[in-house]
């Protein structure tokens, strides 16, 4: 392992991120803020939803934006760099095992995912107004946040190395959209009880554990999947996605 090379590759990604800072912030913020405003403000004020819905919504918004930011932040550049511009080739020739480049991408994606969580939560909290968050489980919360960040970045690595440039549209409509809708972000998992089959099926969706885990630690009074189960599931999915992502990366990087 060659730290200088690894650090230089991180520095490159940080430099590019700094250059695209404003569009990136807008991209991260806009969608969650719109959701927060429409569901948390418009719907609750008009009485179409109970005010307590805000407590369900906030952790879900955080989960969606962390997961989406991590996936997009890793997958989109990878798809382009491998196929269209091939600009990744210079780094594949750097004096370091190529797997470390994939690890670097995952680390960069985790940072983006964490940053989006750190920005979206206070912003959503301000828009919603007086949602009571619990920080009694700070450690559990931190563990879950890290696992979610890794989940999203490793998922981005896997998708980015499996999807071709022409299939990006399909990625959105066939993978990401159902994932968000069935991710228990806008409703707790327990509310699927009247659809027993669906309730079992959505358990393959990693976003479910992210939403439920954040709910379980930030607003523990809302019904949620047990935090221990969430941590175990997230850890298992993290390991699986990292391994699968590395395999896909190797396949892309060498012919």
Residues engaged in binding another protein (CB under 8 A): 2, 4-5, 8-9, 11-12, 15-16, 19, 83, 85-98, 253-255
Least distance (Å) from another protein to the CB of residue 76?
12
Q: Specify the DSSP class assigned to residue 194.
A: T
Contact present, 36 and 57 (Cβ < 8 Å):
yes
Considering the complex, state which of residue 54 and residue 105 has its C-beta at the smaller distance from another protein: 105
Number of C-beta neighbours around residue 254 at 10 A:
8
DSSP alpha helices (H): ranges in 84-226? 89-92, 98-128, 138-160, 168-170, 177-181, 196-201, 206-218
Q: Give the span between the Cα atoms of 126 and 129, in whole angstroms.
A: 5
Considering the complex, state which of residue 161 and residue 233 has its C-beta at the smaller distance from another protein: 161
For helices 206-218 and 227-253, the axis angle rounded to 10 degrees is 140
Q: Give the span between the Cα atoms of 40 and 126, in whole angstroms.
A: 11
Q: Specify the DSSP class assigned to residue 59.
A: H
Least distance (Å) from another protein to the CB of residue 4?
4
Considering the complex, state which of residue 18 and residue 47 has its C-beta at the smaller distance from another protein: 18
Least distance (Å) from another protein to the CB of residue 77?
8
Q: Give the span between the Cα atoms of 53 and 186, in whole angstroms.
A: 9
Considering the complex, state which of residue 90 and residue 221 has its C-beta at the smaller distance from another protein: 90
Considering the complex, state which of residue 45 and residue 250 has its C-beta at the smaller distance from another protein: 250
Residue 37 CB burial class (10 angstroms; 0-12, 13-18, ≥19): middle
Least distance (Å) from another protein to the CB of residue 17?
10
Residue 158 CB burial class (10 angstroms; 0-12, 13-18, ≥19): buried
Least distance (Å) from another protein to the CB of residue 108?
13
Considering the complex, state which of residue 12 and residue 182 has its C-beta at the smaller distance from another protein: 12
Q: Give the span between the Cα atoms of 245 and 162, in whole angstroms.
A: 9
Show the tokens assigned to 98.
């190529």
Considering the complex, state which of residue 10 and residue 43 has its C-beta at the smaller distance from another protein: 10
Least distance (Å) from another protein to the CB of residue 133?
37
Least distance (Å) from another protein to the CB of residue 165?
10
């Amino acid at each position: 392992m060659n730290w200088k090379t690894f650090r230089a590759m991180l520095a490159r990604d940080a430099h590019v991120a700094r250059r695209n800072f404003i569009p990136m912030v807008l991209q991260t913020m806009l969608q969650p803020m719109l959701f927060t405003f429409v569901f948390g403000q418009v719907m609750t004020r008009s009485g179409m939803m109970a005010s307590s819905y805000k407590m369900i919504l906030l952790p879900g918004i955080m989960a969606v934006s962390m997961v989406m930011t991590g996936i997009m932040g890793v997958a989109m550049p990878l798809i382009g760099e491998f196929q269209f511009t091939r600009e990744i080739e210079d780094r594949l020739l750097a004096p370091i095992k190529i797997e470390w480049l994939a690890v670097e991408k995952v680390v960069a994606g985790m940072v983006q995912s964490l940053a989006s969580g750190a920005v979206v939560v206070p912003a959503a909290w301000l828009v919603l107004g007086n949602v009571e968050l619990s920080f009694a489980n700070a450690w559990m919360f931190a563990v879950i946040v890290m696992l979610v960040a890794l989940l999203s970045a490793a998922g981005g690595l896997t998708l980015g190395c499996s999807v071709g440039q022409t299939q990006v549209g399909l990625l959105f409509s066939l993978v990401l959209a159902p994932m968000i809708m069935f991710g228990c972000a806008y409703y707790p998992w327990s509310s699927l009880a009247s659809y027993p089959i669906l309730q079992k099926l959505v358990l393959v969706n990693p976003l479910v554990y992210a939403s439920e885990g954040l709910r379980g630690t930030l607003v523990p009074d809302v019904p949620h999947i047990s935090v221990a189960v969430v941590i175990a599931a997230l850890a298992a999915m993290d390991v699986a996605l990292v391994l699968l992502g590395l395999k896909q990366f190797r396949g892309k990087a060498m012919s």
